[in-house]
Structure 1
Amino acid sequence: MVVLNRRLLLGLAAGGAAARLAQAQEARAQDMPAHEKALYEAAKSEGEVTWYTGQMQAEPSEALGRGFSERYPGVKVNVVRSTSQVAFQRLAQDMRAGIAQCDVFSSTDHSHAAHLKRQDRLAAYRPRNADGLIQAARDAGDPDGFFHVTYLGLYLMARNSNAVSEAEAPKSWKDLTDPKWRGKIAVGHPGYSGAITSWCLLMRKMYGWDYFKALEKNQPQIGRSSGDPVTTLNAGERVIGAGIPSATTLLSISRGNPITLIYPTDGTLMVPAPSAVLRNAPHASAARLFMEFLTGPEGQRVTRRFFGESLRDDVPPPPGARPLSEIPLITADPEALERDGQEVKELWRDTFGV
């Protein structure tokens, strides 16, 4: 007769859990297409991948890292999340010091990827899964395969619905210069956020720099990330958010915060955000596998859980978001972003003093 003591029961439970884990891993392996299986076998020997990213906030970025490791057990993701400008500065410091630490770089600023390509810092790699991306994402990627769009950010306005009614809320970007919003607006900073740099370029193109001189008179609260105003609106410190990400705002709304999106009548900013494998990536196979994950359905499903726009027809759009076909969209010209991005950052500092 077998005596079922505590140690034996724990051993049986552990054995059962291990068996279930092995079965789940086997099922995932069978679900992988051949090109992913080959990369996975090589990536397991590397054991990790380091991702510098400014595309999403910390929570969805960490969730993507966990999702990758769940699909590819034995390969850990070191998520280094910051604003896009800070991520680029960190990478530049690594390069000056001769350090190869970053495997995959993701930004909301197209000029970062274009600059790295010109400097021969990127590896040409075209993920097979990128073939399933929507046309707009494929078109915004590098034709030579050095970088690919892995995230499509929408940036718009929002109001604290406890403090501002729909009737009195601003309807357009231009409305933010109305003196009635003095001391009530929160916005990010182009010196840290690639999305805010794009927004500045478009507002200057549409309304001239006098737009920002008028906005400065309303004394906006200026954070760093484009997502910082969401926190400010939740706290009731300001009541209007400008240039804020749709995904972060919808996630906050889903958690019961009193925020309502405002789609500006003069256009919602769309930012195709690129990712790339570094030429000197220390975990080259894991880096390529991570790019397959970001562009594939599994990665896009994780992004959707945090209300990110889906880049694939086989992954539905996030709940609560308007279909892209119903939104007037504006997008910064990549050449203008690279040519004039630094200029608008300097103009911003001159105008706002930060």
Structure 2
Amino acid sequence: MSKRHGLKKSVLVLLTAMVGFGVTACGTSSQPTASTPQEKQAASSAPESSSTPAAGTEEKKLSGKVVVYSAGPKGLAESIQKGFEEKTGVQVEMFQGTTGKILSRMEAEKANPVVDVVVLASLPSAQGLKKSGLTLEYKEAKNADKLIPEWSDQEGHFFGYSASALGIAYNTKLVTTPPEDWADIASPEWKDKVNIPDPAQSGSALDLVTGYLSAHGESGWELFEAYKKNGVAQAGANQAALDPVITGSKSAVVAAVDYMTYAAKEKGEPIDLIYPKSGTVISPRPAAIVKTSQNVENAKAFIDYLLSDEAQKMVAETYLLPGRTDVAAKDRPGAAEIPVLKIDWTWMDENGDDVTKKFTQVFK
């Protein structure tokens, strides 16, 4: 998900070790045998599409299982699992965890990889997998042409099926004047009142930190050093950083994942979120087929399902940003309404490990 993989230096060992396994497994892959209803209609009038079997053919042939490691959120992952199983008859073996936990599990299984599809919360992590030769190309993925191009690999190695944006979440009972920008958190009124997720555990938090640095250069470290001096606490992964704000033991969390905040707000929790006016990072959540997959056709069908109308509506219901341009976000700002930093995903991928190490040193 390489110099970065976004979260742990030890993941580089995984990348090297698994490449050899990929060569054998890649030979088991084949071209998909189904098309969408739209493609079926096009096939009737387009000779070049006549070799594609009718829609539904592949689904009837599917059987067995697919192993998915997913960065959640839990409710969405379970809904997608249920929907895919009902649609295809394929059993989904699901492991849920943060991007860091997924990469650690893959490392532990490097001698005998079992995962077919990974769903991550960090685009640079997926970029790293591709660079290391660990992802399987799937150019024929259904509805891939409807995805926001910047969130996916144009060669078909990973697909940004959804995204979250990073902001500043705050407790509405404790905060009467919300911050407007990142630098506000370094002011005295916020001293010892703010959390930040650990980039070593949160792929989205790492995206924010590396994105901010890619936009501001080396001087960007001044912000995070000021945070540390003002008592901002590094507090585990996303939920661990957010929960103290919901309960009121902290007033705010920076690099807060927006969909988690909106979901808590919908449940009646005293919490809200702002997107800093100077810009933030929208963090795509890419899904990729692992080259060592032992269930390639099922894995392709799972990717197709993630990009389907049905699954994209599930994404919207979870307050995530849908990956498809033709599916609207629900009860939250859409991607076009969020101010964004001018970031360099390649720089973020290549410098993630160094950034994580320095960030840990700053906040130790």
TM range (shorter): 0.7 to 0.9
What is the SS of the residue equivalent to 2:106? helix
Match of 2:123 in 1: 110
Match of 2:47 in 1: none
What is the SS of the residue equivalent to 2:67? strand
Matched positions, count? 314
CA distance in 1, matches of 2:192, 2:54: 54
- The structural deviation recorded for 1:312 is 2.5
Between 1:280-289 and 1:118-127, the stretch displaced more is 118-127
Describe the superposition over 1:252-281 as per-residue Cα deviations: whole angstroms up to 9, x where unpaired.
Answer: 111111111112111132112321111121
Which of 31, 41, 60 is residue 60 of structure 2 equivalent to?
Answer: 41
What is the SS of the residue equivalent to 1:128? coil
Change (3 A) 1:43 1:263: same
* 8 Å CA contact retained: 2:161, 2:322: no
Q: In percent, how many aligned pairs have the same letter?
A: 22
**Structure 2 gaps, min length 5:** 1-35, 41-52
Match of 1:94 in 2: 109
What is the SS of the residue equivalent to 2:77? helix
2:198 matches 1:194: no
What is the SS of the residue equivalent to 1:350? helix
Which of 56, 66, 69 is residue 82 of structure 2 equivalent to?
Answer: 66
Match of 1:335 in 2: 346
Match of 2:259 in 1: 247
CA distance in 2, matches of 1:215, 1:170: 14
| Paired residue type of 1:300 | Q
CA distance in 2, matches of 1:143, 1:30: 23
2:359 matches 1:348: yes
CA distance in 2, matches of 1:177, 1:139: 32
Which of 246, 271, 281 is residue 283 of structure 2 equivalent to?
Answer: 271
Change (3 A) 1:88 1:334: same
CA distance in 2, matches of 1:248, 1:35: 40
CA distance in 2, matches of 1:342, 1:267: 23
* 8 Å CA contact retained: 2:66, 2:92: yes
2:188 matches 1:179: yes
- The structural deviation recorded for 1:103 is 0.6
Match of 2:26 in 1: none
TM-score computed with the length of structure 2 as normaliser: 0.80
| Paired residue type of 2:129 | L
What is the SS of the residue equivalent to 1:268? coil
- The structural deviation recorded for 1:342 is 0.6
* 8 Å CA contact retained: 2:142, 2:307: yes
* 8 Å CA contact retained: 1:64, 1:303: no
2:327 matches 1:315: yes
Which of 277, 300, 305 is residue 317 of structure 2 equivalent to?
Answer: 305
* 8 Å CA contact retained: 1:67, 1:302: no
Match of 2:17 in 1: none
- Report the RMSD for the aligned CA atoms in angstroms: 2.3
What is the SS of the residue equivalent to 1:329? coil
**Structure 1 gaps, min length 5:** 1-28
- The structural deviation recorded for 1:70 is 2.9
* 8 Å CA contact retained: 1:101, 1:282: yes
* 8 Å CA contact retained: 1:83, 1:224: no
What is the SS of the residue equivalent to 1:282? coil
Change (3 A) 1:131 1:147: closer
What is the SS of the residue equivalent to 1:39? helix
| Paired residue type of 1:215 | Y
Describe the superposition over 1:125-153 as per-residue Cα deviations: whole angstroms up to 9, x where unpaired.
Answer: 1243233524xx22432222121211222
CA distance in 1, matches of 2:310, 2:95: 21
- The structural deviation recorded for 1:86 is 2.0
Describe the superposition over 1:270-323 as per-residue Cα deviations: whole angstroms up to 9, x where unpaired.
Answer: 11232111112122121111100111211111111111112224432111x123
- The structural deviation recorded for 1:113 is 2.1
Higher CA-based Rg: 1
2:99 matches 1:84: yes
Match of 1:24 in 2: none
- The structural deviation recorded for 1:157 is 1.0
* 8 Å CA contact retained: 1:130, 1:296: yes
CA distance in 1, matches of 2:276, 2:60: 48
- The structural deviation recorded for 1:213 is 1.2
* 8 Å CA contact retained: 2:208, 2:280: no
What is the SS of the residue equivalent to 2:238? coil
CA distance in 1, matches of 2:221, 2:240: 23
* 8 Å CA contact retained: 1:297, 1:314: no
